[in-house]
Amino acid sequence: MPVSVALYDKTLDRIKPQIDALGLDITLHPYTAEGLFGPLTDGAMPTKPSDMDIDYLWLSPDHSSDGTLSTAFTLAKDLRSLKVLQTFNAGLDHPGYRPIADRGVRICNSSAQAIAISEYVMAHVFDVFQPLAERRELHASRTWQRTPFREIARTNWLIFGFGPIGRAVAKRAKAFDATTTVIRRSPATSDTVDVCGTLADIDKFLPEADVIVIACPLNDETRGLADAKFFSALKPDAVLVNIARGAIIDDAAMMTALDEGKFATAVLDVFHTEPLPADDPLWAHPKIRMTSHTSFNGSGVRQRWLELFLDNLPRYVRGETLLNEVAPNDIP
Protein backbone atom coordinates (compact mmCIF):
# COMPACT_ATOMS: atom_id res chain seq x y z
CA MET A 1 0.00 0.00 0.00
CA PRO A 2 1.64 3.32 -1.03
CA VAL A 3 2.31 5.91 1.66
CA SER A 4 -0.02 8.90 1.24
CA VAL A 5 1.83 12.22 1.32
CA ALA A 6 0.12 15.61 1.44
CA LEU A 7 1.82 18.83 0.32
CA TYR A 8 0.77 22.37 -0.49
CA ASP A 9 0.29 22.41 -4.28
CA LYS A 10 2.66 25.37 -4.66
CA THR A 11 5.38 23.42 -2.84
CA LEU A 12 4.78 20.29 -4.90
CA ASP A 13 5.05 22.20 -8.16
CA ARG A 14 8.49 23.39 -7.07
CA ILE A 15 9.99 20.16 -5.73
CA LYS A 16 8.25 17.27 -7.53
CA PRO A 17 11.39 16.26 -9.49
CA GLN A 18 13.31 15.85 -6.21
CA ILE A 19 10.50 13.75 -4.73
CA ASP A 20 10.29 11.56 -7.83
CA ALA A 21 14.05 11.01 -7.70
CA LEU A 22 13.67 9.34 -4.28
CA GLY A 23 11.94 6.38 -5.94
CA LEU A 24 9.55 5.84 -3.04
CA ASP A 25 6.29 3.94 -3.03
CA ILE A 26 4.12 6.97 -2.26
CA THR A 27 1.00 8.72 -3.49
CA LEU A 28 1.16 12.51 -3.60
CA HIS A 29 -1.91 14.50 -2.57
CA PRO A 30 -1.57 18.24 -3.32
CA TYR A 31 -3.86 20.65 -1.53
CA THR A 32 -4.77 24.22 -2.36
CA ALA A 33 -4.37 27.51 -0.50
CA GLU A 34 -8.06 27.12 0.42
CA GLY A 35 -7.34 23.80 2.18
CA LEU A 36 -8.89 21.43 -0.35
CA PHE A 37 -7.37 18.41 -2.10
CA GLY A 38 -7.31 18.14 -5.86
CA PRO A 39 -8.84 18.07 -8.30
CA LEU A 40 -6.29 15.64 -9.65
CA THR A 41 -8.03 15.15 -13.01
CA ASP A 42 -10.03 17.40 -15.29
CA GLY A 43 -13.61 17.75 -14.15
CA ALA A 44 -13.04 16.19 -10.71
CA MET A 45 -14.38 17.97 -7.66
CA PRO A 46 -12.03 19.03 -4.83
CA THR A 47 -11.94 16.74 -1.81
CA LYS A 48 -12.46 17.97 1.74
CA PRO A 49 -9.81 17.08 4.37
CA SER A 50 -12.43 15.21 6.39
CA ASP A 51 -12.61 12.67 3.55
CA MET A 52 -8.84 12.10 3.40
CA ASP A 53 -6.49 9.67 5.17
CA ILE A 54 -2.92 10.96 5.05
CA ASP A 55 0.19 9.25 6.34
CA TYR A 56 2.66 12.14 6.02
CA LEU A 57 2.00 15.88 5.75
CA TRP A 58 4.69 18.47 5.12
CA LEU A 59 3.79 21.90 6.45
CA SER A 60 6.19 23.74 4.16
CA PRO A 61 7.61 27.29 4.50
CA ASP A 62 5.52 28.36 1.51
CA HIS A 63 2.59 28.62 3.92
CA SER A 64 4.39 31.33 5.88
CA SER A 65 5.34 33.38 2.84
CA ASP A 66 1.82 33.02 1.36
CA GLY A 67 -0.07 33.75 4.58
CA THR A 68 -1.85 30.37 4.43
CA LEU A 69 -0.53 28.86 7.66
CA SER A 70 -3.85 29.03 9.51
CA THR A 71 -5.56 27.23 6.62
CA ALA A 72 -2.92 24.51 6.71
CA PHE A 73 -3.41 24.00 10.47
CA THR A 74 -7.15 23.69 9.93
CA LEU A 75 -6.58 21.15 7.16
CA ALA A 76 -4.25 19.06 9.33
CA LYS A 77 -6.71 19.13 12.22
CA ASP A 78 -9.68 18.20 9.99
CA LEU A 79 -8.11 15.26 8.14
CA ARG A 80 -9.94 12.03 8.73
CA SER A 81 -6.61 10.57 9.82
CA LEU A 82 -3.01 11.78 9.91
CA LYS A 83 0.07 9.94 11.16
CA VAL A 84 3.00 12.38 10.82
CA LEU A 85 3.23 16.15 10.46
CA GLN A 86 6.62 17.63 9.51
CA THR A 87 6.81 21.41 9.91
CA PHE A 88 9.21 24.15 8.90
CA ASN A 89 8.92 25.70 12.39
CA ALA A 90 11.61 25.20 15.01
CA GLY A 91 9.33 26.20 17.90
CA LEU A 92 5.95 24.54 18.31
CA ASP A 93 4.26 27.11 20.56
CA HIS A 94 1.82 28.14 17.81
CA PRO A 95 -1.64 27.15 19.09
CA GLY A 96 -2.28 25.20 15.89
CA TYR A 97 0.04 22.37 16.93
CA ARG A 98 -1.58 21.30 20.19
CA PRO A 99 -4.93 20.12 18.72
CA ILE A 100 -3.03 18.12 16.11
CA ALA A 101 -0.77 16.51 18.72
CA ASP A 102 -3.84 15.69 20.83
CA ARG A 103 -5.06 13.47 17.98
CA GLY A 104 -1.96 11.32 18.41
CA VAL A 105 -0.18 12.75 15.37
CA ARG A 106 3.60 12.52 15.45
CA ILE A 107 5.15 15.96 14.88
CA CYS A 108 8.66 16.71 13.61
CA ASN A 109 10.00 20.23 13.87
CA SER A 110 12.82 21.87 11.90
CA SER A 111 16.54 22.25 12.52
CA ALA A 112 17.10 24.05 9.21
CA GLN A 113 17.24 27.48 10.85
CA ALA A 114 20.02 26.64 13.33
CA ILE A 115 22.98 27.69 11.19
CA ALA A 116 21.41 30.99 10.17
CA ILE A 117 20.29 31.87 13.70
CA SER A 118 23.65 31.01 15.23
CA GLU A 119 25.40 33.23 12.67
CA TYR A 120 22.93 36.01 13.51
CA VAL A 121 23.84 35.66 17.19
CA MET A 122 27.56 35.85 16.47
CA ALA A 123 27.13 38.86 14.16
CA HIS A 124 25.24 40.84 16.77
CA VAL A 125 27.61 39.97 19.60
CA PHE A 126 30.50 41.10 17.40
CA ASP A 127 28.59 44.29 16.63
CA VAL A 128 28.24 44.99 20.37
CA PHE A 129 31.84 44.08 21.21
CA GLN A 130 33.46 45.78 18.22
CA PRO A 131 32.92 49.53 17.59
CA LEU A 132 32.04 49.03 13.93
CA ALA A 133 29.93 52.18 13.55
CA GLU A 134 32.65 54.32 15.14
CA ARG A 135 35.25 52.84 12.80
CA ARG A 136 33.12 53.66 9.78
CA GLU A 137 32.78 57.25 11.03
CA LEU A 138 36.55 57.52 11.52
CA HIS A 139 37.05 56.19 8.02
CA ALA A 140 34.59 58.69 6.55
CA SER A 141 36.31 61.58 8.34
CA ARG A 142 39.81 60.29 7.47
CA THR A 143 40.69 60.24 11.15
CA TRP A 144 43.64 58.05 12.19
CA GLN A 145 42.59 56.73 15.60
CA ARG A 146 42.86 53.34 17.30
CA THR A 147 39.61 51.80 18.54
CA PRO A 148 39.81 49.36 21.47
CA PHE A 149 37.34 46.49 21.47
CA ARG A 150 36.16 43.60 23.58
CA GLU A 151 37.26 40.10 22.62
CA ILE A 152 34.97 37.08 22.60
CA ALA A 153 37.89 34.90 23.68
CA ARG A 154 37.64 33.97 27.38
CA THR A 155 34.13 35.38 27.75
CA ASN A 156 31.48 33.24 29.42
CA TRP A 157 28.43 32.35 27.31
CA LEU A 158 25.25 31.14 28.99
CA ILE A 159 22.95 29.42 26.50
CA PHE A 160 19.38 28.58 27.45
CA GLY A 161 18.29 25.56 25.43
CA PHE A 162 20.42 22.98 23.67
CA GLY A 163 18.41 21.98 20.65
CA PRO A 164 19.82 22.50 17.14
CA ILE A 165 20.03 26.28 17.63
CA GLY A 166 21.68 26.14 21.04
CA ARG A 167 24.16 23.56 19.79
CA ALA A 168 25.04 25.69 16.75
CA VAL A 169 25.58 28.76 18.95
CA ALA A 170 27.79 26.82 21.38
CA LYS A 171 29.88 25.43 18.51
CA ARG A 172 30.58 28.90 17.15
CA ALA A 173 31.28 30.46 20.54
CA LYS A 174 33.77 27.68 21.34
CA ALA A 175 35.49 28.35 18.02
CA PHE A 176 36.34 31.80 19.41
CA ASP A 177 37.66 30.30 22.69
CA ALA A 178 34.67 31.31 24.80
CA THR A 179 33.56 29.28 27.78
CA THR A 180 30.11 27.81 27.25
CA THR A 181 27.55 27.03 29.91
CA VAL A 182 24.25 25.46 28.87
CA ILE A 183 20.90 25.29 30.63
CA ARG A 184 18.97 22.23 29.51
CA ARG A 185 16.71 19.57 30.97
CA SER A 186 19.46 16.99 31.41
CA PRO A 187 22.82 18.34 32.67
CA ALA A 188 25.05 16.56 30.14
CA THR A 189 28.09 18.22 28.59
CA SER A 190 29.61 17.75 25.13
CA ASP A 191 32.72 18.83 23.23
CA THR A 192 31.19 22.30 22.77
CA VAL A 193 29.93 22.67 26.35
CA ASP A 194 32.12 23.36 29.38
CA VAL A 195 29.42 23.40 32.05
CA CYS A 196 25.84 22.21 31.96
CA GLY A 197 22.92 22.65 34.34
CA THR A 198 19.17 22.90 34.58
CA LEU A 199 16.84 25.81 35.26
CA ALA A 200 17.41 25.19 38.96
CA ASP A 201 21.01 26.36 38.47
CA ILE A 202 20.43 29.75 36.84
CA ASP A 203 21.08 31.74 40.02
CA LYS A 204 24.56 30.23 40.05
CA PHE A 205 25.32 30.85 36.38
CA LEU A 206 23.80 34.26 35.62
CA PRO A 207 26.32 36.40 37.60
CA GLU A 208 29.23 34.95 35.60
CA ALA A 209 27.71 35.31 32.12
CA ASP A 210 29.10 37.82 29.63
CA VAL A 211 26.71 36.76 26.86
CA ILE A 212 23.29 35.23 27.52
CA VAL A 213 21.58 33.57 24.56
CA ILE A 214 17.94 32.57 24.93
CA ALA A 215 17.34 29.66 22.54
CA CYS A 216 14.89 27.54 24.52
CA PRO A 217 11.28 26.63 23.69
CA LEU A 218 8.43 28.70 25.10
CA ASN A 219 6.49 26.63 27.64
CA ASP A 220 5.12 26.91 31.16
CA GLU A 221 8.64 26.70 32.63
CA THR A 222 10.19 29.37 30.42
CA ARG A 223 7.37 31.88 30.02
CA GLY A 224 8.48 35.06 31.81
CA LEU A 225 11.78 33.41 32.77
CA ALA A 226 13.78 36.61 32.25
CA ASP A 227 12.14 38.68 34.98
CA ALA A 228 13.36 41.33 37.44
CA LYS A 229 15.20 38.73 39.55
CA PHE A 230 16.88 37.37 36.44
CA PHE A 231 18.13 40.78 35.33
CA SER A 232 19.27 41.82 38.80
CA ALA A 233 21.76 38.94 38.77
CA LEU A 234 23.55 40.00 35.57
CA LYS A 235 26.95 41.66 35.16
CA PRO A 236 26.85 45.36 34.22
CA ASP A 237 28.55 44.63 30.87
CA ALA A 238 26.49 41.53 30.00
CA VAL A 239 24.79 41.17 26.61
CA LEU A 240 21.43 39.40 26.23
CA VAL A 241 20.35 37.91 22.88
CA ASN A 242 16.82 36.53 22.46
CA ILE A 243 16.18 34.48 19.33
CA ALA A 244 13.58 32.17 20.94
CA ARG A 245 10.21 33.75 21.78
CA GLY A 246 9.30 37.19 23.08
CA ALA A 247 7.18 35.88 25.95
CA ILE A 248 10.25 34.44 27.65
CA ILE A 249 11.25 38.00 28.60
CA ASP A 250 9.41 40.44 30.86
CA ASP A 251 9.90 43.54 28.71
CA ALA A 252 9.19 46.06 31.47
CA ALA A 253 11.66 44.38 33.83
CA MET A 254 14.25 44.27 31.06
CA MET A 255 13.95 47.97 30.25
CA THR A 256 14.11 48.91 33.93
CA ALA A 257 17.25 46.81 34.35
CA LEU A 258 18.85 48.46 31.31
CA ASP A 259 17.94 51.92 32.62
CA GLU A 260 19.50 51.08 35.98
CA GLY A 261 22.70 49.69 34.42
CA LYS A 262 22.06 46.12 35.59
CA PHE A 263 23.29 44.90 32.21
CA ALA A 264 24.58 46.57 29.04
CA THR A 265 22.71 45.56 25.91
CA ALA A 266 19.71 43.53 24.72
CA VAL A 267 19.56 42.13 21.19
CA LEU A 268 15.99 41.13 20.34
CA ASP A 269 14.67 39.34 17.28
CA VAL A 270 11.39 38.11 18.80
CA PHE A 271 8.60 39.90 20.65
CA HIS A 272 5.35 39.42 22.55
CA THR A 273 3.46 40.92 19.61
CA GLU A 274 4.63 40.55 16.02
CA PRO A 275 4.82 42.76 14.07
CA LEU A 276 5.81 45.00 16.97
CA PRO A 277 3.53 48.09 17.12
CA ALA A 278 5.25 51.32 16.09
CA ASP A 279 4.47 52.93 19.45
CA ASP A 280 6.04 50.16 21.53
CA PRO A 281 8.76 51.64 23.81
CA LEU A 282 11.20 48.89 22.82
CA TRP A 283 11.79 50.67 19.51
CA ALA A 284 13.24 53.79 21.16
CA HIS A 285 15.29 52.29 23.98
CA PRO A 286 18.97 53.27 23.47
CA LYS A 287 20.35 49.99 24.84
CA ILE A 288 18.15 47.68 22.76
CA ARG A 289 19.08 46.47 19.28
CA MET A 290 16.11 45.07 17.41
CA THR A 291 15.39 43.10 14.26
CA SER A 292 12.06 41.95 12.86
CA HIS A 293 12.12 38.18 13.55
CA THR A 294 14.66 37.76 10.79
CA SER A 295 17.39 35.67 12.43
CA PHE A 296 16.26 32.53 10.57
CA ASN A 297 16.34 34.26 7.20
CA GLY A 298 19.71 32.98 5.98
CA SER A 299 20.57 32.17 2.39
CA GLY A 300 20.78 28.40 3.02
CA VAL A 301 17.66 27.87 5.10
CA ARG A 302 15.19 27.12 2.30
CA GLN A 303 17.47 24.44 0.89
CA ARG A 304 17.94 22.87 4.34
CA TRP A 305 14.14 22.83 4.86
CA LEU A 306 13.83 20.86 1.65
CA GLU A 307 16.73 18.54 2.47
CA LEU A 308 15.19 17.73 5.85
CA PHE A 309 11.89 16.78 4.19
CA LEU A 310 13.66 14.70 1.52
CA ASP A 311 15.59 12.92 4.30
CA ASN A 312 12.70 12.35 6.68
CA LEU A 313 10.10 11.11 4.19
CA PRO A 314 12.19 8.08 3.12
CA ARG A 315 12.85 7.36 6.77
CA TYR A 316 9.11 7.18 7.37
CA VAL A 317 8.50 4.98 4.31
CA ARG A 318 11.23 2.56 5.46
CA GLY A 319 10.00 2.54 9.07
CA GLU A 320 13.16 4.19 10.41
CA THR A 321 13.63 6.74 13.18
CA LEU A 322 12.43 10.19 12.15
CA LEU A 323 14.60 13.27 12.52
CA ASN A 324 13.49 15.98 14.95
CA GLU A 325 10.44 14.16 16.28
CA VAL A 326 9.12 16.09 19.27
CA ALA A 327 7.70 14.36 22.33
CA PRO A 328 3.99 15.18 22.80
CA ASN A 329 4.68 16.57 26.29
CA ASP A 330 7.09 19.11 24.78
CA ILE A 331 4.37 20.74 22.70
CA PRO A 332 2.78 23.61 24.68
Output the DSSP codes for 199-241: GGGHHHHGGG-SEEEE-PPPSTTTTT-B-HHHHHTS-TT-EEE
Q: Is 325 a catalytic residue?
A: no
Q: Is 272 a catalytic residue?
A: no
Catalytic, out of 29, 167, 172, 245:
245
Measure the CA angle with vertex 101, ends 98 and 107; round to 5°.
110
Measure the CA angle with vertex 308, ends 96 and 272; round to 5°.
35
Distance, in Å, from the CA atom of 35 to the CA atom of 69, rounded to the nearest integer, reads 10
As a whole number of Å, the CA-based R_g of the chain is: 22
H or E element at residue 27 = strand 26-31
Distance, in Å, from the CA atom of 47 to the CA atom of 41, rounded to the nearest integer, reads 12
Backbone CA torsion sign across 145, 147, 148, 154:
negative
Query: C-alpha dihedral over 92, 94, 98, 104, to 10 degrees?
Result: -50
Catalytic, out of 98, 293, 302, 304:
293
Burial of 220 (0-12, 13-18, 19+ CB in 10 A): exposed
Q: Rounded to the nearest 5°, which phi and psi values hold at 144? A: -90, 100
Buried b / exposed e over 241-257, threshold 16 CB at 10 Å, is bbbbbbbbbbbebbbeb
Do 280 and 255 meet the contact criterion of CB atoms below 8 Å apart?
Answer: no
Catalytic, out of 134, 274, 307, 320:
274
Q: Is 146 a catalytic residue?
A: no
The closest of 156, 274, 134 to 209, measured between CA atoms, is 156
Q: Which residues are catalytic?
A: 245, 274, 293
